[in-house]
Each structure stands twice: as C-alpha cells, then as structure tokens.
Amino acid sequence: MGKALTIALDAMGGDAAPKMVVRGASIALERFPEVRFIMFGREREIAPLLKNKGRLQEVTTLRHTDDVVGSDAKPSVALRSGRQSSMRLAIDAVQAGEADCVVSAGNTGALMAMAKFVLKTLPGINRPAIASFFPTMRGESVMLDLGANVQCDAQNLVDFAVMGNAFARSVLGLQEPSYALLNVGSEEIKGHESLQEASAILRASGLPGKFLGFVEGDDIAKGTADVIVTDGFTGNVALKTAEGTAKLINEYMRHTFRSSLLAGLGYLLARPAMRKLRKRVDPRGYNGAMFLGLNGIAVKSHGGTDALGFANAIGVAVDMQRHGIIEKIRTDLTLLDRSPGNAQAAVV
C-alpha cells in the first residue's frame, strides 16, 4: 500500500454525474486502497449513492454546494460567478492543502481557467498545457498541447517539451524518453519560425532523453516519439481526427461483419481477437487529460466517460502525485537557457 493521499472530486462534473463519479471513485479505490476522497456537490444527490458503497463511504468526506458549472458556460463567466461551484471548491481544496490533486469531468475551459487562477503556474511557465495519452504501435505516447493554447511562440513549445518529458518519465516510467515537435515535414528546414526556434533551443538543452527534431502526423500512431509537442490548435485537431477515425473504422467493421451470413460466422470465429482489439483501443483506458505547468495537480476526465473511464482519470492523478511530476518539471526548467535572444542565437 502506498502513502495515503487525498483527491478532491468535482462530483457534479460530467454528463452522468454524480452517479458516474461515485462509481468511478469506488472502482479507483479497489486499485488504490490508500486514497481518500473529498467530494463536492449536491448532498441530496450524492449521499444516497454513497450509502451502499461500504468502504468508499468511510473514506469520503462530502462537502455540499448547490452551484454547478454548466457544460456550456464560458470560462470567464464561470471564473467570476462560480466561486461556490463544485468545480471551484474542489480546486480550492488543493490550493488550501486539504487535497493532493483534483479530478473533474466538467467544462474543460472553466476547469483550466479556475485551476490557473487558483493554483497559479510554476515559475518560468506562463501557459499551462493540456496533455493526454495516445495509443501507438509501440505502446503509449503523450501529446501536448491539446487545446489550451491555440497560438504558441517558441518558448511555449519548449515549455511544453519540458513538461511532456517530465510526464513521460513520471507516469510512463521512461528514463530516457524521446521527444519531438510536430511539423509538416521531418526536414530541418520545414516549419514556421516558432518551430525553428523551439527546435534550436531543445537541441542545445540538457533535458533528459533524446530530442528527435521534427516528426509528421503519421508518426503519432507509429510511436516514433514518446512525447509529441505542438500548439493547441494543431493538437486538438489531431486528437479529434484520431477519435473520429477510430469511430469510423469501428463502424466499418460493424457493417462488414453484418453484411452476410458468412461474414457473421467470421465474426464469431474472430470474437476473442476482437475483444482484445477493443480493449487495446478503448478510450476509457486513456481517459484523463493532464493540466501540466500548474503549481498543483489537476486532471480533466472526458465529460462523456463512464465509471471505468473516470476511475482511470483518478489513476492518472495518483500517478502524477506519487512520482512527483511537479518537482521534475521544476528541476528540468533549470536546464534551459532563458537568457534574452537565446532562441535567435541558437537558430543562427
């Protein structure tokens, strides 16, 4: 059993909250029996769900609030008017030291805005990034940013590389991760000025692992790099494209196996292999986007996930806290030369 830690849960965040959150916490508790929870939300809805959950009820403190951040709320509005919301109070618990990390399946923009406002960013980081896992031919990789920062300069990309590198070492367990910048080509002359500057800085840095330079879109699934760095606009498009492609292939397979009696027989024979495939690409297994660069651990679960997916998001928070990712990022930032003009000098 590991060291006890407390997780603040936004019990009202997500399409199927609070039932999904309570069930997810129960599943996570089986994997991490040392965890304690503080759930924030409407007591009249949450308490009955906890009543028959045995040990989960014993290790959970319920904090009542009627306020909930809507899924369509603008981040700026949520930040001003959501001070007593379940999301904000869960984040406040981390800032106050009552909890070690926060997990929410609520509004992504609101969660980022609140977490940045309350927890602040680490020294040297001016923009936190959203990172998540990607299944690849080689296992798993991490990609960032996935939507928090639509426009990025060279220093932002370098910071993302530092944070992704630390995450790969902490959560993926890679001592010497490979990392690269997503570009329109792998040649050194390709890409806009910010990518060129970021590449030059990273080549000259003393970060652990191996900098591969530039990779292309098809390298994501290949697993060419353990960490893929890009701006939030490109990263979000890549993420949604991958999700859409996975759904398309699944639908094609469904139609194919239903197209004839012989195809249906083929499915029956292939069913064990199909189960393995579904498990390998099940998005619930990769649920839990990380807000890296904050002075605290915050994990965003997909709003439409089920209990198993939410449990996996809790697992990501536990892994980040256990492996000291914040301290790793602090240490790695000291390896970079942030003197004025360093990027331009490195390019030249």
Return the domain boundaries, the chain: 1-119, 124-285+324-348
Asked if the domains 1-119 and 124-285+324-348 are classified in one and the same CATH topology, the answer is: yes
Comparison of pLDDT for 274 and 290, the residue scoring more:
290
Q: What are the residues facing 139 on neighbouring strands?
A: 136
Q: Please state the rounded mean pLDDT for residues 187-211.
A: 88
Fold of 124-285+324-348: Isopropylmalate Dehydrogenase (3.40.718)
Q: What are phi and psi for residue 259, nearest 5 degrees?
A: -75, -25
Q: How many helices (H) and strands (E) does the chain have?
A: 14, 11
Q: How many CB atoms lie within 10 A of CB 274?
A: 14
List the single range of 52-66, 117-131, 208-222, 245-259 with lowest mean pLDDT.
245-259
Q: Please state the rounded mean pLDDT for residues 274-285.
A: 63
pLDDT digits (tens, 9 = 90+) for 22-65: 999 999 999 999 999 999 999 999 999 999 888 999 999 999 99
Considering the segment(s) 1-119 as one domain, its CATH architecture is 3-Layer(aba) Sandwich (3.40)
Q: How confident is the model at residue 344 (pLDDT cuts 50, 70, 90)?
A: very low
Q: What is the mean pLDDT of the chain?
A: 87
The predicted structure's pLDDT at residue 280 = 61
Q: How many CB atoms lie within 10 A of CB 262?
A: 7
The predicted structure's pLDDT at residue 263 = 80
pLDDT digits (tens, 9 = 90+) for 118-163: 999 998 888 899 998 887 888 888 999 888 888 899 999 999 999 9
Q: Please state the rounded mean pLDDT for residues 285-311.
A: 86
* Secondary structure (DSSP) of 263-309: HHHHHHHHHHHHHHHHHHH-GGGG--EEEETBSSEEEE--TT--HHH
pLDDT surpassing 60 at residue 341: no
Q: How far apart are CA 184 and CA 70, in angstroms?
A: 37
Q: Please state the rounded mean pLDDT for residues 169-179.
A: 86
What's at 7, amino acid-wise?
I
Pairing type for strands 5-10 and 35-41 reads: parallel
Burial class (CB in 10 A: 0-12, 13-18, 19+), 242: middle
pTM beyond 0.95: the answer is: no
Q: How many CB atoms lie within 10 A of CB 226?
A: 26
Q: Percent of the chain scored above 70 by pLDDT? A: 91
